């Protein structure tokens, strides 16, 4: 008999159907993966099981639980008024956002204790809270910490301890590791796996990442735009997917053989970075001497025209700080940059204008990197103020060319950023970087926020652009598989230092530095 069962579940917001006739079944102790891209309805499925759907949702279908006894709920009755005793008790849930999912004003121990007080009052003791923390591999003194004092991975573990406190028979984890870096992600996934086994707890694991699902689950449901595409045992789905959509997802998740992302090398490097150092000064008191924190420690490397150089490392290793200095966005404390005959160094604003227009940046977040009150047209024209010599027609040509190159059309340009999808926005960000026809493009996690199926398209686009215009790329990513696919050479950073560098195959096949080995070990592939 199944522990939880959804029958013909349909969720509508107004006339938009976001989940259509979904059937889903979770057996006791089973590990079920729910896979899909953004907007596929996977989070709504979880919220339905928790009776936490937004009030304006119109729901139909049936939900069955068999925890202490068998119950059947008409989904139309879901809502605040329904007597729903399972939330937090028989069903625990972990959410995606480690930064915001915990109350910032409350000690972690109290937040865990709250669940105990609600569902297991006899267990609401210091000892039991510490035991829960120990179960998620956190030391007992974390009990008295506030969320801001913890790292992302630690917060996610606290969230897990909270979900476990009610001793649930079913744990729902909604993208619990998507916001974490690779190494931390691996730790949390291994932890969830171990706890689910030890507690004989059923798991509904929601993710866009097939690798993570493959590592955890024995059954997979694939959702696309609110509809169930395919479901079955993990092995079967991953090895012989039946539906075109699943095949695409599986293909996108497998490390693909490298396309020819290689070009001719010039004798003199386009970019030469010498001993570039970035320090932040932290001062506790007005009268204290600030103690410097080194984010980037004497980085030295070169990059040739038309080349793609990968930059990888765990979060906080200094990748982004380094790239921002090269782009002239942040001042350096020491060192200098030679770029295309220009030299600039450790003074803010010392970057010559002529160099500025030869370097463009594409950022990770396609939502945050556009001004929401600026029409796309204006956003794309804006960089052209660096080229005052262009006439109005030439500007128009530049923008038209850029927009067509990224596969969009100019009649969309009157819209505001919110009217575009994530993938479209990232294309527009690339177009914005392109209008100047730069010699170097810095790509800071350009595909990390995108769904896997779109990722391939954007990478292919970057590849085409490089073929046509011969730009050099500095490609920053935490995703080693992507880096391997697109780069020639790679550098590995840790604690502000470049600890390893070389041909991408050499580095990944024969890693020398400890951190490289760790990063490679943390990968979750559907082959492994």
- Dist CA 232 CA 203 (whole Å): 15
Name which position in 89, 171, 276, 498 contacts other proteins (CB under 8 A).
89
Smallest separation, CB 285 to other proteins (Å)? 7
Contacts of 25 (CB under 8 A, 6+ apart): 2, 4, 5, 6
Name the one range near other proteins by CB under 8 A: 88-96, 357-365, 389-397, 472-480: 88-96
Nearest Cα to Cα of residue 36 among 179, 239, 248: 248
97 counts as binding other proteins under rule CB under 8 A:
yes
Name the one range near other proteins by CB under 8 A: 222-230, 279-287, 358-366, 385-393: 279-287
372 counts as binding other proteins under rule CB under 8 A:
no
Structure tokens at 29: 């102790």
Which residues, listed in sequence order, are joined to residue 498 by a DSSP beta bridge? 493
Please report, for residues 117, 189, 193, the alpha-carbon distance to residue 204 in angstroms, rounded to integers and kept in the order given.
25, 13, 12
Would you give the DSSP letter of residue 12?
Answer: E
Closer residue to other proteins in complex, CB, 26/454: 26
User: 10 Å Cβ neighbour count for 393?
Assistant: 8
Name which position in 69, 70, 105, 200 contacts other proteins (CB under 8 A).
105
**137: exposed, middle or buried (C-beta count within 10 Å: 0-12, 13-18, 19+)?**
middle
Q: Where are the beta strands (DSSP E) in 38-135?
A: 57-66, 70-74, 91-94
Name which position in 285, 373, 391, 411 contacts other proteins (CB under 8 A).
285
Name the one range near other proteins by CB under 8 A: 103-111, 127-135, 265-273, 432-440: 103-111
Name which position in 1, 16, 104, 198 contacts other proteins (CB under 8 A).
104
Which residues, listed in sequence order, are joined to residue 281 by a DSSP beta bridge? 292
Name the one range near other proteins by CB under 8 A: 104-112, 239-247, 309-317, 335-343: 104-112
122 counts as binding other proteins under rule CB under 8 A:
no
118 counts as binding other proteins under rule CB under 8 A:
yes
Helix (H, G, I), strand (E, B), or coil: what is residue 285? coil
Closer residue to other proteins in complex, CB, 65/475: 65
Closer residue to other proteins in complex, CB, 174/181: 174
- Dist CA 288 CA 285 (whole Å): 5
Binding-site size for other proteins (CB under 8 A) equals 32
Structure tokens at 505: 């195959």
Of residues 20 through 39, those in contact with other proteins by CB under 8 A are none
Nearest Cα to Cα of residue 127 among 116, 173, 118: 116
Q: Provide the b/e sequence for 410-440 (b: ≥16 CB within 10 Å).
A: eeebeeebeebebbbbbbbbbbbbbbbebbb
Of residues 140 through 159, those in contact with other proteins by CB under 8 A are 146, 148-149, 159
x/- letters, 68..87, toward other proteins (CB under 8 A): ------------x----x-x
Helix (H, G, I), strand (E, B), or coil: what is residue 270? coil
Smallest separation, CB 92 to other proteins (Å)? 8
Name the one range near other proteins by CB under 8 A: 23-31, 278-286, 351-359, 503-511: 278-286
Closer residue to other proteins in complex, CB, 161/434: 161
Name which position in 22, 32, 78, 101 contacts other proteins (CB under 8 A).
101
Closer residue to other proteins in complex, CB, 86/344: 86
Contacts of 430 (CB under 8 A, 6+ apart): 362, 406, 446, 458, 461, 462, 465
Report whether 21 contacts 35 (CB < 8 A): no
| Interface contacts to other proteins, rule CB under 8 A | 50, 52, 80, 85, 87-89, 92-93, 95, 97, 100-106, 114-115, 118-119, 146, 148-149, 159, 162-163, 166, 284-286
């Amino acid at each position: 008999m199944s522990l939880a069962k959804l029958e013909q579940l349909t969720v509508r917001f107004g006339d938009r159907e976001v989940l259509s006739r979904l059937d889903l079944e979770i057996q006791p102790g089973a590990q079920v993966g729910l896979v899909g891209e953004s907007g596929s309805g996977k989070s709504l499925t979880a919220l339905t099981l928790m009776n936490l759907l937004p009030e304006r949702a119109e729901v139909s279908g049936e939900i069955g639980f068999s925890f202490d006894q068998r119950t059947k709920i008409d989904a139309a009755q879901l809502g605040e008024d329904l007597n729903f005793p399972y939330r937090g008790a028989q069903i625990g849930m972990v959410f995606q956002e480690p930064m915001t999912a915990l109350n910032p004003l409350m000690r972690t121990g109290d937040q865990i204790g709250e669940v105990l007080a609600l569902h297991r009052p006899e267990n609401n003791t210091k000892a039991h809270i510490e035991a829960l923390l120990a179960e998620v591999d956190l030391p007992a003194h974390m009990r008295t910490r506030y969320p801001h004092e913890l790292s992302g991975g630690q917060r996610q573990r606290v969230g897990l301890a909270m979900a476990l406190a009610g001793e649930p028979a079913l744990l729902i984890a909604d993208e619990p590791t998507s916001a974490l870096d690779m190494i931390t992600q691996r730790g949390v996934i291994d932890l969830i796996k171990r706890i689910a086994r030890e507690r004989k707890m059923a798991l509904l694991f929601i993710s866009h990442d097939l690798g993570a699902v493959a590592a955890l689950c024995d059954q997979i449901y694939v959702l696309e735009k609110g509809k169930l595409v395919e479901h079955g045992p993990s092995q079967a789905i991953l090895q012989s997917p039946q539906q075109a959509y699943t095949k695409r997802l599986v293909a996108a998740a497998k490390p693909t053989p490298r396309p020819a992302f290689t070009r001719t090398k010039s004798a003199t490097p386009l970019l030469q970075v010498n001993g570039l150092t970035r320090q932040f000064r932290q001062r506790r008191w007005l009268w204290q001497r600030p103690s410097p924190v080194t984010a980037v420690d004497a980085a030295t490397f070169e990059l040739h025209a038309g080349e793609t150089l990968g930059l990888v490392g765990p979060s906080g290793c200094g990748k982004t700080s380094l790239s921002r200095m090269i782009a002239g966005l942040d001042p350096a404390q020491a060192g200098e940059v030679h770029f295309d005959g220009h030299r600039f160094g450790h003074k803010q604003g010392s970057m010559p204008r002529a160099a500025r227009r030869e370097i463009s940046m594409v950022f990770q977040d396609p939502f945050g990197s556009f001004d929401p009150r600026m029409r796309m047209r204006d956003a794309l024209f804006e960089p052209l103020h660096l080229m005052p010599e262009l006439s109005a027609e030439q500007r128009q040509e530049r923008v038209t060319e850029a927009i067509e190159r990224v596969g969009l059309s100019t009649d969309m340009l009157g819209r505001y950023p919110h009217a575009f999808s994530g993938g479209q926005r990232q294309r527009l960000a690339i177009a914005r970087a392109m209008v100047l026809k730069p010699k170097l493009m810095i790509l800071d996690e350009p595909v990390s926020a995108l769904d896997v199926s779109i990722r391939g398209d954007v990478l292919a686009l970057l590849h085409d652009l490089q073929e046509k215009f011969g730009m050099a790329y500095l490609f920053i990513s935490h995703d080693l598989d992507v880096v391997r696919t697109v780069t020639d050479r790679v550098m590995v950073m840790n604690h502000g230092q470049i600890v390893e560098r070389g041909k991408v195959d050499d580095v990944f096949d024969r890693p020398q530095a400890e951190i490289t080995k760790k990063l490679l070990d943390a990968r979750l592939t559907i082959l492994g």
